Structure 1
Amino acid sequence: MLGIALVAAGYATVAVSDAMVKWVLPEIGTAAAMLWRGLFGALTIALLVRGRIPRAVNRRLLAARCALHCGVTVLFYLAWHRGMPLADSYAISAAAPLLMTLLAIPILGESVGWRRWASTAFGFCGVLVMLRPGGALWGADAMLLLIAVVLMAVTRIWMRLLARTDKPATITFWLMLAHVPAGLLLMPVLPPPQWLPSPGTMVLLVLLGASNGIAHWLFARAFALAPVSLLAPFEYSTLVWGTVLGFVVWGNFPAYGTLLGAAIVIAAGLYNLHRERLRRRESMKEATG
C-alpha cells in the first residue's frame, strides 16, 4: 500500500512539474531547463537525505541510465517547446509499458506467452490510431516522442535492476545531477532565448527542480517496495493529469482519435499486467509445491 501511495503521488507530482517546464520553455529553452532542473533537483535530494548520499553500487548501469534518461528529457522538452500538449505526449508515452514487455525478453530474460504477444500487438494498433497520417498527432514531434518512449522503456527496466542494488536517493541524486552537464553540453546547440530568467521564471525553475527530484525519488522508493505489475497501471494516471492541466492552463484538449488510440494502448497494457500477475502467482505455487 505504501508503494502504491508513493507511485501515485509521484505521477501527480511529475505531471505538475512537466506543466511548469512546458510553461518556462519558451523563455529559457531546452538546454537551460535541463540545467536548472538538474541543479535544483539534485539539491532537493541532498537536502532530503541531509547530504548523506549512499555510494553507488552498480555504477556502470547507473551512469548508462542517467545518460539515456537525459536523452529522453531532451526529446520531450523539444516536443513541448514546439507546442505539443501535455496530454498528447502522455498518450504516446502510454506505450512504454508495452515496450517494457518486449524489452524484458532480451534484457531480463523473461518469457512472453502468446496472449501477451497478442495484446501487445493490439496495443501497438492503438499507437497507429494515434499516429495515423492526417491525424492530430501526425508529425515530426510525435516521431521524436516515439523514440523517447522507447528509450524511456529501457530506463524503466534498468531502474528495476538498479533497485536491487542501489538506494532510491542514490539513483535519483545522480539522475538529477546528470542533467547539469547535459544541459551545459547542449547550450551551444540549443542556446536559451534569454540568458537571465525573470524572477517569476526562477521561482518556477526552483519548484520544477524540487518537484522533479521528489517525483523520481518517490518512483525509486515505490519500485523498491512493491512489484512493477502492481505499480505500472498508475502510470496511466498522467494522461488524466495532463488533460486537466493542459485544459486549465493552455485550453488544450486531446483529439478523439488520440483518446481512442490511448484507450486501446492502456487496455492492452492493463491486460499484460494481469497476465504477468497470473504468471507470477502460478510460478509461486509451483515453487511452494
Structure 2
Amino acid sequence: MAGALLMLLGMAAFAGNDAIGKWLVADYGVAQVILLRSLAALLIMAPLILRGDRVVARLRSAPRPGLQALRAVCATAEVFCFYFAVYYMPLADVMAFWMAAPIYVVAISPFLLGERVGKRTWMAVAVGFVGVLILLAPSLQLSGPGAFFALLGTAAFAGIMILGRSLRETADRDLVLFQLAAAGLAGLVFAPFDWQPLRSGGDLALLFLLGVVATAAHMLVTRALKLADASVVAPLQYSLLVWGAAFGFLIFGDVPAPAMLIGAALIVASGLIVLRR
C-alpha cells in the first residue's frame, strides 16, 4: 500500500513536471531545458549525495553496474523523447502514448522479475487503457515525428520501471543521481547547438522549479518500486492523466470534455482495482 501511494504521489509530481516542461520547450531548446533541469536537481540533491561515505567510492561500489548504466541510458532517452514529443504534439496526446508503459511492465514482469500477475490485475490494466482510448481517441495523432519520439519514450519509461525494480538494493539517492547525471551530460553535449538566452527571471525560476519537481517525482517512483511489485504499481501510472487534466484546466484553461470525464472515471477505477488487489 505504501508503494502504491508513493506511486500516485510520484505521478502527480510527474504531471507537474510535464506541464512546466511543455511551457518551457516552446521557447527553449530541449537539451537546454534538460541540462538546466538536471543542474537544478543535482543542486537540490547535493546534501543527500554528499552525506555519508565518499561519493566516488559509493558509485564505484554500486551493485550490477551494467544494469545501472542501462537504466541511466533509458532515463536519458525517456526524458529527451518526452520533450521532443510534446514539442510536436499536444500534451494530452503524448500522455496517451506514455499510458502504454504499464502494459509493457505487467507483460514483462513475470519473465524478468519473476512476479505473479493475476487476472484481476490484467483486467485493471485493460480498464485503464480503455479509459485512455476513450479519453483521447478524437485527437490522438498516430504518425509523424511526435509519435516516433513518443513510442521510443514509452518503451524507455517501461525499461526504467523494470530496471528500477531489479536494482532495488541500490540506494534511492544513487539511482536518481545516476539518471540525473546521465541526462545532464547529454544535455551538456547537445545544448550548445540550440541555446537560447534566458528571457526573464521567471523562466529561470521555472527551470529551477522543474528540477525540484523532477527530483521529487523520481525519488517517489524509485521508492515505490522498492516497496511493491512493478506489476502492482505500474498500472497506477494511469492516474497521471487525471492530474494532467487538472493541471491543464488550472494552467492552460483546458475545459474537460465528456470523453475526458468518462475516460478519467475508468482510469480511477483501474487504479482502485489495483490498490484493492
Query: Does TM-score exceed 0.5, indicating one fold?
Result: yes
Amino acid at match of 1:73: V
Structure-1 residue corresponding to 2:184? 180
The equivalent of 1:19 in structure 2 is: 19
C-alpha displacement at 1:117, in angstroms?
6.9
> In 2, are the aligned partners of 1:71 and 1:148 still within 8 Å (CA)?
yes
SS at match of 2:189: helix
- Sort the Cα spacing of 1:154 and 1:259 in 2 relative to 1 into closer, same or farther, 3 A: farther
2:224 is matched with which residue?
A: 222
1:200 aligns with 2:205: no
Letter in 2 for 1:155: I
Classify the secondary structure of the residue corresponding to 1:26: coil
Aligned residue for 1:30? 30
CA distance in 1, matches of 2:2, 2:267: 27
TM-aligned CA distance change 1:196 to 1:114, over 3 Å: closer
Q: Label 1:253 to 1:157 Cα distance change in 2 as closer, same or farther (>3 A).
A: farther
Residue 138 of structure 1 aligns with which residue? 141
The C-alpha deviation readout for 1:16-53, integer Å capped at 9, x for no partner, is: 22222211112222110111111111222222454445
Structure 2 unaligned spans of 5+:
none
Residues 97 and 269 of structure 1 are in contact (CA less than 8 Å); yes or no, is this contact kept in structure 2? Answer: no
State the distance in 2 between where 1:222 and 1:7 align. Answer: 5
| SS of the residue 2:210 aligns to | helix
- Tell me by how many angstroms 1:95 deviates: 2.0
> Distance in 2 between the 1:160 and 1:225 partners?
9
C-alpha deviation, 1:235, in angstroms: 2.3
**Corresponding residue of 2:165:** 160
**For residues 230-251 of structure 1, what are the alpha-carbon distances to aligned partners after superposition, in whole Å with 9 as ceiling and x for unaligned?**
5345422221111011122112
Deviation at 1:116, TM superposition (A): 6.9
Question: Partner residue of 1:282?
Answer: none
1:42 maps to 42
Distance in 1, matches of 2:111 and 2:3, equals: 27
Alignment correspondent of 1:91: 96
Do structure 1's residue 81 and structure 2's residue 87 form an aligned pair?
Answer: yes
Over aligned residues, Cα RMSD in angstroms?
3.3
Separation in 2, partners of 1:104, 1:39: 33
Change (3 A) 1:265 1:20: closer
Q: Aligned in 2, Cα 1:247/1:116: closer, same or farther, shift over 3 Å?
A: closer
Instruction: For residue 137 of structure 1, report the CA deviation from its aligned partner.
Output: 1.0
Assess, with a 3 A threshold, how the Cα gap between structure 1 residues 112 and 91 changes in structure 2: closer, same or farther: same
Partners in 2 of 1:100 and 1:266 — Cα distance?
19
Q: TM-score, normalised by structure 1?
A: 0.77
Does residue 170 (structure 1) correspond to residue 174 (structure 2)? The answer is yes
| Preserved contact between residue 31 and residue 183 of structure 1 (Cα < 8 Å) | yes
Does the 8 A contact of 2:21 with 2:210 survive in 1? Answer: yes
Read off the aligned partner of 1:176 and give its amino acid letter: L
Residues 88 and 258 of structure 1 are in contact (CA less than 8 Å); yes or no, is this contact kept in structure 2? Answer: no
What one-letter code is carried by the residue in structure 2 that aligns with 1:62? Q
The yes-or-no answer on 1:71 pairing with 2:71 is no
Deviates more, 1:37-46 or 1:63-72: 37-46
Specify the alignment match of 1:107 in structure 2. Answer: 112
TM-score of the aligned structures, taking structure 2 as reference length: 0.79
Task: For 1:116 and 1:14, locate their aligned partners in 2 and report how far apart those are by CA, in whole Å.
Answer: 23
Distance 1:6 1:232 in 2: 12
Query: Residue 107 of structure 2 aligns to which amino acid in structure 1?
Result: L
The gaps in structure 1 that reach 5 residues or longer are: 278-289
How many residues end up aligned between the 2 structures? 269
**Equivalents in 1 of 2:29, 2:120: separation in Å?**
44
1:245 is the counterpart of 2:242 = no
Distance 1:221 1:196 in 2: 34
